[in-house]
Structure 1
């Protein structure tokens, strides 16, 4: 066994007070996100997305957040991927943001819905052309015999769409996660962390402090 128990650090970056945090979680998220982005992280939009398959087994993967507003959080993927199949069976998911340099975490649980094809197309065509072609070349999550097969498929679709716009695949688009619960975590000294939980109550939000 590799013992990691002696790896420790104190969290002293800040505090989070339920009495002064924003009245709704999206406003609070925006404030924290802008502060985090101001630290010039390598990838500010990185998040972990959790889903559950048909057997009840949880899955996680890292994706990039592409938009957010008062309606929720938007990301894009192949609908035929593992996560797309999970979401088709159970349209609930969890997002997790870990901003270590600020000693902060944000956890989000909610319900998913697909965004419109028009919204998906607008984002798809804003991507680098090679990324658009990659969406056609990859049967995401399906078995692949070797790297050469993927590269051959990429070459084929590159030639197919050489003289025109790359169309949006029918199996590719975006999801919006509408939050039902959002928790903000601020690391605290002596493991006395600050945790503030928002839960949806109709059109309003209930806010409370949780034990660390």
Structure 2
């Protein structure tokens, strides 16, 4: 057994107080996202996306957040992927933003709703061309025998679309996560972390705010 009990550090960068919280959690999320980007964190938009399969087994993977507003959090993916198949059966989803260097986490839970084709297209056309081509190449989450298959397919598709625009694949889309709860976690000294949970049962209701014990 590898003993990791000695791997510890104190969290002393900042605190979070109730009087400083806005009524709308998206205002605080925008501030924290801006600060994460300004701190030059590696991949500040990276989030852990958790879904559940038909047997109740949770699955997690890191995905990049691409847009957010008062309506929710948006990400894009192959609609043949494991996460998309699981969301088709169970639209409940959880997101986690692990901003370790700032001693912060944001955890979101809610429902994932598929984006319209127009919303997906408006993002897809602004991707780098090689990323557009890569969307055509990979049957995400399906087994492959060798990396060479992907590389050969990429070169084939690159030739195919060399002289024109890359069309939107029918199997490529995105989701808007509509939050039912958003928790902000700020590390504190002696493991007395600051945690605040925003919750609401309907989008027409105001957010309720609670401080949680660490």
Same fold (TM over 0.5): yes
What residue is the counterpart of 2:104 in the other structure? 104
Q: Determine which of 203, 206, 209 is the counterpart of 1:207.
A: 209
> Shift of the alpha carbon at 1:19?
2.8
Q: Which residue of 1 aligns with 2:51?
A: 51
State the secondary structure of the residue aligned to 1:11: coil
Q: Which runs of 4+ in 1 moved over 3 A?
A: none
TM-score relative to the length of structure 2: 0.96
| TM-score (norm. length: structure 1) | 0.97
Q: Which residue of 1 aligns with 2:115?
A: 115
Show the counterpart of 2:3.
Answer: 3
Give me the whole-angstrom Cα distance separating, in 2, the residues matched to 1:160 and 1:55.
41
In structure 2, what is the equivalent of residue 76 of structure 1? 76
User: Following the alignment from structure 1 to structure 2, what is the Cα–Cα distance between the partners of residues 161 and 139?
Assistant: 18
Shift of residue 76, structure 1, vs aligned partner = 0.3
Distance in 2 (alpha carbons) for counterparts of 1:209 and 1:41:
27
SS in 1 for 2:4: coil
Mapping for residues 1-212 of structure 1, pairs under 5 Å: 1-202=1-202, 203=204, 204-212=206-214
Instruction: Report deviation, 1:125.
Output: 1.2
Q: Is the partner of 1:19 in helix, strand or coil? A: helix
Structure 1 residue runs of 5 or longer lacking an equivalent are none
CA RMSD of aligned residues (A): 0.9
1:126 Cα offset (Å): 0.8
How big is the shift at 1:102?
A: 1.1
Q: List gaps (5 residues or longer) in structure 2.
A: none
Q: Secondary structure at the match of 1:10?
A: coil
The CA deviation string for residues 154-202 of structure 1, in whole angstroms up to 9 with x for no partner, is 1221122222111000110110000001000000000000000000143
Cα distance, 1:66 vs structure 2? 0.2
The alignment of Structure 1 onto Structure 2 pairs a total of residues equal to: 212
CA distance in 2, matches of 1:21, 1:158: 49
